[in-house]
Structures are given as C-alpha cells and as structure tokens.
Chain A
Amino acid sequence: MAPVIRSKAAMSCENAPSNLGASSSILDDTTNQPSTEHAVSTTQPATITLPTESQATKQSFKPEDKMLELFDVFGEDDFAVAFFFWLAMVLLGVLATLFFVSLSWITAAASVFCGFILFRHKMLKHDCLPSGRRWMTISDPNAPAPDTDSLPAVYFLYVLGSGGHSAEMIETIKQKFRGQKNQHRRYIITTGDKSSQNMIASLESTISDAYPDERAGTRDVFLIKRARAVHQPLWTAPFTCLMSAAHAVNALTREPNLRPFGTYGYQFKYPHVIITNGPATGLIVGMVAHLLKIFYLVPPHRLKIVYIESWAKTKTLSLTGRLFYWTGIANMFCVQHQTLARSIPDAQFVGAVTARVTPVG
C-alpha cells in the first residue's frame, strides 16, 4: 500500500492557482499514465478529456472562481484502482489457500489476524489519553488557551455530509476558527452535493475577507462518492460504502498541493484531526482512518477522530452516532444536548457548538 501512496505524492505537487494551470497539469499526468482512471470519474462521462472542465459544468449553479480555485486538482485517483485490484488479488489468494492449505492452518491464520486487529484496536483506545472534559469546563478567561501557533503544522479535515450536516459543520468551523499561518484544512464533500459546495465557498470567502494575509491558511476540497443517498435502500449501501472507502483512503493520505512534500515534508501529509458530525460518509472516513492506524500505515498521533453528534439529536443517538459509540473509534465523542449527555456515559457534553439561539418568548 505504501509505495502506491508515495508515487502519488510525487505526481502532482504543482500548485494550481488558475484553472488553466490546473488543466495543463492534469494533461501532463494523463500523458504520463494513460491507463489509470480519474479521481472523480465515477460520476463523469468517460469521454471527457479535461476533468477541470467537467468539474466546472458540474457546478453550473454559479461559476464561481472561488469554488474552482478550491477544487485543487489531485490528478488521478489511481489508489482506488489499485485498491480494487489488490482486493481482487487477496480474494483470489484466499480462494487458492482454501484449496491448498488445511483448515486448521487457515483457522490459525485467521485467528492470529483477528487477534492482531483486536489488540491494536484496544491499544489505540488506550492511546487516546485526553478526556477533554477539563478543557470544556474551563470558564476562566485567564486560563492558558491551547497555543497551536508554534506547531509545525495544524491540519484539520472536515467531513461534510448533506444539507443539515453541512450547515452544522460550517457553523462549527466558524465557532472554532482562528487565523494562523501553519494551518491547512481539507473539506470532504460527496459527489453532487451542490449546497455544500456553496456553503464552503461562502465560508471560505468569509475567512479570506477576515484574514486577507497568510493567516487564512491553505485549504482544499476533496470529492468522494456518497455512501448512502437519502432514500437509498440499506442493502445496497455496502457497495457504495466500499467505493467511498477507496476514495477516502486517498483523501486521508494525499498531501495538499499547496503544501508540497518538497517544502513541508511529512508535516502536512496526514490530517491531525478529523471532525465529522453524523453523515454516513463521516463513518466511512472514520473507519478507514482507524484501519490505517491499526495497520501502522500512518505515523502515530495522527488522524485523531472527533465525532460531534448532530444538534438535531436531543434524546437518542443517530445510527452513525451509535456506530461511532459502539466501535469506539472516535477519540472524542461530543453531544450537544444535556438530556443526551446524561444517557451516554462517555460522551462529552459540549453545549450547542453549532447554534446560538434565543427563545421565541
């Protein structure tokens, strides 16, 4: 897995300031490796030669330069292809093994494998020392705030879902945002989600208005396939989930074009914190991140997962919330309502991070 990632990193480190530059870099890539597919090819007609153009038509809602600039061109997602290739090979290998190796050996190997995964899972759980409870209860304005300015890199990854989830996430980002030079943020949105694109564009223009200098940091947007459409039956979900998972690996391990490997090394290679608030895509990204940690594919202390239960859930956890809770893959599990916080023992009551509200009267 690792060499695949490495080769991608070397591929298109070029910044994409203008649309033209971006499309030319894509052309170079396609001439170098003509056989691979494009990153967002799952939703695009295969005949289109210039992916940037098709992206522009996709956001026909408003041809905003802002948004085009945000859609950094990441070249091809050859990882997704390689992923399915390897998956097929592994399946073939397993089938072959079933014929040639005795059942006892297979059982032994499988149990060692499962044991390893469980062991790592427990280990990672113990790893997440901070409780967060203390940080929330600090009401003293003189208390030292976390100083992240001096760190080499601060890289947040936000997973946006659809509609309400995105609106909440944007508000959360606004409530936490602070201008600093060393930050990068990446938004993961699902294909065809135009309202989220609009929201990101307006958030980014707010940020660049407030911080016209370097303190605005760098940002990019990653498109991945939607895990479950609103009325999609649950039984077809696993297949679409697998597709999103393959794209999620790319989103988690691809360093930003604006923070090239040559200048920043591994500092911006992997996100530090993944924040998600309930869309199924967030769960997929969380799972993939956890698996990457289990198999030592990312350095330790990266990909910390923060789950914020949707503000809409006041008494019970959502399906995604329950899955995050049961699997325990979230390093921090936040809920926004007191009633819910009382019924969930380990949850972090953070108050309404997404809303500032006044009653009608």
Chain B
Amino acid sequence: MASESAAPAGGSLAPPHCFVTVGATAGFRQLLAEVASPAFFETLAALGFTRLSVQCGPDLAWFEERVAGLDAEAKRGIEVEAFDLTNSMQAHMIACRSERGVRLPGCIISHAGTGTVLEAMRYSAPLVVVPNPTLMDNHQAELAEEVENQRWGIYGRLGHLAEAVRRIHALVAKGPLANLPPYTPPPFPVPESQRNKLFDWMALTAYPEEFRRQQHLLELHDSQGASSEGPRVPSSSQAGREEQQRMGLD
C-alpha cells in the first residue's frame, strides 16, 4: 500500500490531484500567492502531482495573472485550472480522495472554514487546513488546531505550505486513507437509532401536556431500567413498552 502511493503516477492508477479552495465568503490572497509560487509547484511535481485546481473566490483574475507570470519550467508540467466558484465541489474533492485500483490519494488545501473542512472530511480526503489570519479574531486558527490535534488533517501554516503537503503525503501513505473503497454518500433519512432526537423533544415542549406525558413515560422507562439488575432482559423492556402503551391510552 505504502509503496504503491509512493511511486509517482505508478501503473494504471490515476495520478494524485491537488485541490485548493478558499471558500465562498471571503478571499484569501496569502494562500493563493503561496500556491502560485515556483517552490510549491516543485514540491507537487516531486510528489507526483500532475493536476492542480484552484477555487479562488474573488481573486480569480489576480491569481491567473500570478500563474501566467510563471514560466513553463517553473510549472513543471502541472496542469493548472482556476475558477472563482464552483457548483461541483464534491467532484473536485472526490478527485483528491484515493480509491482502490482507481486513484492515488491527492490533497485538499483548504482555508479553515467550517463548511469546507466538514465537506472534505466527509469524503475522507487528505486535508491541509490553512487559517485565514485576516478574518475576525483570527477565528479559523482554533479549528485548524483542532484538526491537527484530532488527526483529521494537517495544520498548514502560511509560508510553510509545501512542507505541509509533504507531511500529509507521508502520513496518508502509511494510513488507511491511501486505499479506500469507492465513495458512498451517507444514508438519508438517517436510521432512527442514530437520529438526533434532541430537537424533537424541544418541539414537544411547545405542547406542555403532551410533553409532560412523554417525559413521564421516559422516567418510567428509566426507573424500570434501573430496577432490573444486570444486563437488560428483553421481557422487562417489553413489559415497559406495554406499560407505556397503557399510559398512552389514558
């Protein structure tokens, strides 16, 4: 597994893809400037990347100018695609996700915005998050730290982006993310046992009588659960349910 992903563009597998996104709300020139630098292209080429797509937000023209300023040698044959906003975020992110026998793991470089980070993690694509220091209170740094601590991805610092890409590449090559089954979207509706019922309880508080009745049923269930010692026997919960139904009738 490790050797497979280490080999640049090896065999019939699609070469790794790099996707840079700055989000839809605000621009992030510092990140784009770093992406459009020869050093970054050099790192990508060394790791076997052949394609780079960049979602630039409001700074599209500025970024294209920067990339046009680079000569062909500095780009090292990497195909660059830039756009301001996209409706197919999912397609770009999945292109960075490894797939068994199809694709090598690529890399998503993202601003530390919640929406983008959440989406990237949903596809379990290798992720580098770069907080945007110009936003209010530098609030994105907190999320980036959490991402690094929980090992969801790598905290990419401005000025050390190429290094971060090298780190995530090495990390992913060892872990399970290098060889994933095809992506399947999570089921909707969510199975009842995993569903978040908290807000339904909240809606119920708008009807105090009904709320009290159902709360009582819950307490009843709790007390019965406490009275039956050890592992729960199915019959007792059955009895509990019958009791609840009787309670429900009156």
Interface residues of A (CB under 8 A from B): 61-62, 128-130, 132, 134-136, 138, 140-148, 150-151, 154, 156, 162-168, 171-172, 174-179, 195, 198, 206-207, 210-211, 230-231, 272-273, 275, 301-302, 304, 306, 310-316, 318-319, 331-332, 334, 337, 350, 353-361
Contact = CB atoms under 8 A, between A and B. Distances in A.
B221 interface: yes
A130 B121 CA distance: 34
Nearest to B187: A210
Given A314-B146, A315-B142, A132 B198 contact: yes
Contacts of B207: 151, 301
A175 to B, nearest CB: 5
Nearest to A135: B201
Contacts of B136: 319
B113 interface: yes
B196 A130 contact: no
Contacts of A195: 24, 85
5 contacts: A164-B118, A167-B119, A211-B189, A301-B208, A314-B146
Interface residues on B, range: 35 or more
Given A174-B190, A312-B140, A313-B142, 9 more contacts: A143-B221, A151-B204, A163-B23, A175-B190, A176-B195, A176-B197, A275-B199, A356-B122, A357-B152
The residue in B175, B205, B225 that gathers the most chain A C-beta atoms within 10 A of its C-beta is B205
A176 B196 CA distance: 5
Interface in B144-177: 145-146, 150-153, 168, 171-172, 174-177
B172 A361 contact: yes
Contact of B121 (A62, A304, A357): A357
**By CB atoms of chain B within 10 A, which of A174, A275, A310 has the most?**
A174
Given A142-B241, A163-B23, A301-B208, A168 B139 contact: no
A141 B193 CA distance: 7
B16 interface: no
A197 to B, nearest CB: 12
A210 B127 CA distance: 31
Contacts of A332: 198, 202
Given A61-B87, A134-B218, A140-B225, A312 B143 contact: yes
Contacts of B140: 312
B118 A178 contact: no
B204 A148 contact: yes
Given A135-B201, A143-B221, A177 B142 contact: no
Given A140-B225, A178-B189, A206-B188, A230 B25 contact: yes
B87 A360 contact: no
B214 interface: yes
B97 to A, nearest CB: 12
The 10 A-B residue pairs whose C-beta atoms are closest, nearest first, are A361-B175, A164-B114, A167-B115, A164-B115, A272-B206, A163-B25, A146-B200, A359-B151, A312-B143, A312-B114
Chain A binding surface, main DSSP class: loop
A360 B197 contact: no
B192 interface: yes
B66 to A, nearest CB: 22
Contacts of A354: 114, 118
Given A231-B26, A315-B142, A361-B172, A146 B190 contact: no
B62 to A, nearest CB: 17
A148 B192 CA distance: 14
Contacts, number: 200
A168 B203 contact: no
Given A146-B204, A230-B26, A313-B142, A361 B151 contact: yes
Contact of A147 (B127, B139, B214): B214
A145 B153 CA distance: 36
Among A166, A175, A230, A302: residue with most chain B CB under 10 A: A175
Contacts of B119: 167
A337 B197 CA distance: 19
B227 to A, nearest CB: 14
Interface of B: 23-26, 85, 87, 112-119, 121-122, 124, 126-127, 135-137, 139-140, 142-143, 145-146, 150-153, 168, 171-172, 174-177, 186, 188-190, 192-193, 195-208, 210-211, 214-215, 217-218, 221-222, 225, 232, 237, 240-241, 244
A154 to B, nearest CB: 5
A176 B168 CA distance: 34
A163 B113 contact: yes
Given A143-B221, A147-B214, A175-B195, A304 B190 contact: no
A195 B57 CA distance: 12
B143 A272 contact: no
A171 B198 contact: no
Contacts of A301: 205-208
Contacts of B176: 361
**Which among A141, A144, A146, A358 has the highest number of chain B CB atoms within 10 Å?**
A146
Contacts of B115: 163-168
Given A301-B206, A361-B175, A355 B118 contact: yes
Given A146-B200, A168-B118, A301-B206, A360 B221 contact: no
A210 B189 contact: yes
A171 B115 CA distance: 10
